[in-house]
Structure formats: C-alpha cells, structure tokens
A and B are shown apart, each in its own frame.
Chain A
Amino acid sequence: MFLEIFLQQVANGLVNGMGYVLVAVGLTLVFGVLRIVNFAHGEFYMLGAYVLFFVITLAGIPYVPAVLLTTAIVAGVGVAASELLFKPLRREHEFTILMVSLGLSLMLANGGELLFGADPKSIPSPYADMTVELGPVFLTWQRIIVIVAAGALIGLVYLFIRFTRMGKMMQATAQNREGAALTGINIDWVHTYTFALACGLAAVSGALLGPTATILPTVGEWAVLKAFIVVVMGGLGSMGGAVVGGLLLGVAEALGANYISIAFKDAIGYAIIVAVLLWRPAGLFAGKR
C-alpha cells in the first residue's frame, strides 16, 4: 500500500506540475524576452478553460479540434492585449506596466464572471471520466493527455525558440533589445509573437486541465500564483528552469501533502521559494540568460 500511494501521488504531482509548467513557460517567456511581469497571465489560463467550454457546448465541436480552436482564439486575445496595452506602454517604467497587467487581470477575471456567469462549469471531455489502471496507479485519459500533450508542446516550443528565425529573434531581443533592433530585428513582431505564444500556452493549459475539475472565473488567480512560484524557483526568464520548477513543485506538493500535512500543501511552494532564494537567489537555473 505504501508504494501504491507513493506512485499515485507522484502521478498526481506530475499532472498538476505539467499544468504549472505550461503556464509558467509563457510567463517566463514574456518576462525573459520583453521584460514584462504580466500578472494577467493566469487569466489566459482561465480564458482557455472557458472558451473551450463554450466552443464545445455551443458550437458542438469535439474536444481535440476544440482545444486547437480555443488556443487560437485566446492567443488572439493575447495579441490584442499586447497591441492595445503593452506595446504602446513599452517605453514606460516597469512599474507602470506591472500595474497595467494587474488592472488587465482584474478586468478579465471580473469580466469573465459577468460574461460567463459565476456558477461553476464542467467542461465535457470524453476523456475526463475514462479511468485507466496503470498497475496501482489510477489515471483518467484526460490526465494522461495533460502529461503527453504538455510534454510535446514544451518540446515544440523549445525547438521553435532554438531553431526558427523568429525564435532566434526572440533570443536576441531577450539578450539586448537595442542591440537586436540595431541589427534589423522587428521588435514589434517579436512582441506580438511572444504574446501569442505565451497566451496560447496558458490557454492550452486551461483547456487540458479544465476538464479534470470544475471551472470558475477565479481559476486564473490560482494559476498565476503557482506560475510565479515556478518562475522564481527556476530562475526568471529560464525555460528549462520553468519545466523543472513546475514538475518539482507539483510533485513536492503532492508528496508533502501526503507525508507531512495536507494543511501545508500551499505552503510548500512558498517554503521552496524561500529555500531557493536563500541558496541560489537567482533561481535554480539562473545564468542561462
């Protein structure tokens, strides 16, 4: 029984961790490339879940294509936020931009409550209730999809940044914005692409994890908090750090809750942050930038 519970908790942690990773990678990209601390990032997770709900229930589109459509729609919202708010404010003080992102977050969360209704919703996914027994571990197909799809996506994003032209332009912008602009890189385009990518990833996370629980317009708050923990843990701007940090947080929460105390489940993340900041103030994977 001990091993069974241990394995089940590790599996639980990995699923949650993968969700954290998808949100955190977007957050860290926006920070790394554009130097924007985006508090509204969690709301794109929320939008991912809600847009998916309406795409499935109103348009009757099956789950998988619905996820793709949702991602495109929310990425579009992200681009709109970038064009209307963040791009015009690019030269303002960092704090101004931070406050704007906070405002956007409140607007989206409260707007979501108005638009989508305050009642909890359950996203109909055919995979949400299909349980699979992998030895002693119980997982639903939905949770397996979370792990596989998130893993694949992270891989793709890595390849995109590493090898494509736009990815290299993003890297250059992250290193030195003025320098990148001098070599002829169109910073406007980098801005747009980064936001589309980051918000798209948050939306996928919401669309994948949404059906594993019920959704509320306030889920974004939770998502952005966890993502910040992950990003601080892994090192601001580091994608590898976000991946390791997210999985580590998920598994640490699950095991800590099981073997120490469930009451401390949320405190574990903060405890890790304190430890990391004391030991390696720039994060576990700092210095790669």
Chain B
Amino acid sequence: MLATRRHIALAAAALGLAVAAGAGSDAAAQSKPPVRIGAILPLSGAGTFEGQLGLEGMQASAAIINAKGGILGGRKIEIVAYDDKSSPEEGVSAARRAIEQDKVDVIAANMFSPIALAMKEVTRDKIIHMVLAPQHPKVTEEGHKWLFRINETTIMRGTNFSKFICSKMNLKSVAILAINDDYGRADSGNFEKWFKECGMNFKATEFFQKTDTDFNVQLTKLRGMQPDGIYVAASATSQGATIYKQLRQLGYKGTIIASGGNMNPKLVELSGNAIEGVFSVSPYVEDVANPVAEAWRAEYKKMFKNETSFVASLGAAGIEILAAAMDKAGTSNGYDKIADTIRSGKWATTLGEIGFDKIGQGFIASYIVQVKNGKIVTHAKAN
C-alpha cells in the first residue's frame, strides 16, 4: 500500500513539474519584461478550492492593475501559478522551482499554515514572501526580513472573538472540533485556554484529519458530551459544510461557532439550513464601503463564476500591496528596499487599509459575522 502511494506521489510530482514548466515558459516577448509574481497555492488535494479562489483573487487584481498600465513605468504583472498539492513537501519544491528555475520577482503564497511554515525556510533571505491565509503565529514570529503576512494570527483574531463569545453568546459549556494540523492545533489550544479563563465548562477538543469526508463519528462523540456550543475550526470549505450539516442531522440543537476567517458564501450555499445562525469572525464583509474592493468585485465577477470570498480577497490584497510597494520602491527585485517600503506604508486594499509591523505581521480590520436567512451579515466590528 505504501509503495503504491509513493508511486502516486512520484507520478503526481512529475505531472506537476510538467505543468510548472509549461507555465514558466510563456513569458511573452513584450517590450518591457513583466513583473512575475509566483503564486504558490493548493491547486490539487484537500485545499484545491481555497487555492483556486486565492488565485482568482490575484488574477482579478492583476487584471485591474494591468488595465491601468501596470507598474514601474509600464511593466505588466504576470501571475505564475504553482501547485503545492496541499502538502508542505510539494510547497517547498514549488518555491525552489519558482526561485531557482523560473526566477520570479516575488512570491505571494499559502492557504495553510503547515505549508507556509515549511516554505518560509526556502524563501528565507532569498525573496519577498507575501503569506496570504495562514494563521499560525510562528509564520511571522519565526519569519524573516522579507516575509510578510496579511491574515491575522489565530491569537490576534481569537482574542477578540473569544471575548465576544464569552460575553455575548450566553454559553455555559463548550466543546471544540478542529482539523489536525498546525493551524487547528494552535487555534483549538488557544480557544480551550480562553474558554476556561472566562469560566465556561470546557468539555473536550476532538480532531479530524484533512482527508476525512465523514464526521459522524467525531460529532456523535461531541454531541454525547452535551455542550451548549461547539466551536469548529475547519479551514477547508468542503469539510466545514459537511460538519455543519451532519451536526444538525445528528440532532444537535446547540450553538455552532465557526473559527475566524472560515466563513464564505460557498460554505453557506453548501451547508444550507444547517449553518443558519452560525457566528464567525471575518475580515472580508461586503456591507462595508471600500472603493478598492468594489472595483475588484466587479472585475472578479466579470472573470470568474465563483462568488467573491475572504480567501479570494486575501489573494487580491497580496497583489495590491506587492504591486504598490514595488512601484513606490522603484524596483521589482531590490528586496531590502521593497520590504522597507511595505513596512513603512499603509496600503489601500480590497481588505481595507493594511499596515505591517516590524516582523511583517499585517493589521487588518475584522468583523463579527452571522449567517441570517442564507446571507453573511456583519454583526459588529471585532477589533
């Protein structure tokens, strides 16, 4: 069995190589060379959908910038996509290919923490690495001088969200269901601590694997503990939707809370009635005015059939910040200069205004949201 899996991995790696080689060779002969941004995302495996959304967000944003004439005196932005196959090993090798063979100018990457944590060691002191979605604190805490992250960490987001849950949601007992990876373990660990600190009866944390498609076993166990609320940390939309549905199918009547950043229209569509009333916290809401976001939404809807989402907006913000900073710094590969520029500025993006601290951690606004009548509605500002 093991041998076969290795065969599959080998064959898949060969395939990926071929794809990347194809993608790398179409640098068109234009008058001015394009600025090439390596987009390393899960385009196969468990995170395919998130990866696709992130890439679409980037492409829509690049299209807007290119339509305005590009950056650095007329250079167009070219997004070079790589597949990390939802796995750290593949992510690392994709980053190597991007840097060494394809010589991209900068990298904007990552949907999941385990991959970002591995990949940052390849990009360390080699290239600008804009991390998009991962929430593990160590991505920036143990990052490098050219690494930035847009999304909030589990701790930044959780501190505010847990306060809301503790003070406003009126729950006496709570249990956690989380994905068994760096992100899920970090997030569930923090929330367990916060829930206990605010005096809730904490029942248990249970984990599921990133390959699971059925959650009845875990959910039965959790339901048996009869918590008032269940906090679900599921970063893949497909798994989240199944969890909310099966939780209701098993007759669970308590409150369901979705971990921060994991609420999107597709999840609501897939989960149907099961997600009604579920709370979450999200930096991407459509009912707050933002001209950059409106232009991006229009372009996105023209180019793609998916609905806009937080994950896609992260991709957009990554491109917007990188493009604006490279333009301002006057270089596409003077990394010290670009990094200083990013750190010293405030950037107008699809996610609102974003600033960065010394270690490259971004600061974005976020909002408590709730699903009402099949729509994600902003409840309050969370930070």
Q: Interface residues, chain A, CB within 8 Å of chain B?
A: 1, 4-5, 8-9, 12-13, 15-16, 39, 99, 102-103, 105-106, 110, 113, 118-122, 128-129, 131, 133, 138, 140, 212-214, 216-219, 221-222, 225, 228, 253-254, 257-258, 262-263, 265-266
Contacts and interface: CB of A to CB of B under 8 A. Distances in A.
B206 interface: yes
B304 to A, nearest CB: 11
A263 B207 contact: yes
Given A16-B214, A102-B7, A263-B180, A120 B220 contact: no
A222 B238 contact: no
A82 B237 CA distance: 36
Contacts of A105: 8
B251 A5 contact: no
Interface string B308-345: 00000000000000000000000000000000000000
Contacts of A140: 249
Contacts of B239: 214
Contacts of A16: 214, 216
B4 interface: yes
Contact of A138 (B11, B215, B241, B249): B249
Contacts of B274: 129
Contacts of B206: 262
B186 interface: no
Range of interface residues on B (Cβ < 8 Å): 35 or more
Contacts of B45: 218
A219 B272 contact: no
B190 interface: no
Interface string B39-77: 000011110110110000000000000000000000000
A213 B214 contact: yes
A266 B251 CA distance: 25
Closest 4 CB pairs of A and B: A120-B238, A118-B48, A5-B224, A12-B216
B173 interface: no
B221 interface: yes
Interface in B169-221: 180, 206-209, 211-218, 220-221
Nearest to B5: A225
Task: Determine the main DSSP class of A at the interface with B.
Answer: helix
A110 B246 CA distance: 28
B298 interface: no
Nearest to A8: B220
B266 interface: yes
B245 interface: yes
A102 B11 contact: yes
Given A4-B224, A12-B216, A258-B217, A119 B306 contact: yes
Contacts of A133: 251
Contact of B270 (A122, A222, A228): A122
Contacts of A263: 180, 207
Contacts of A265: 209, 212, 217
B207 A262 contact: yes
Contacts of A258: 217, 220-221
A129 B217 contact: no
8 contacts: A4-B224, A122-B270, A128-B245, A216-B213, A222-B213, A228-B1, A262-B206, A266-B211
B250 interface: yes
B15 interface: yes
B12 interface: yes
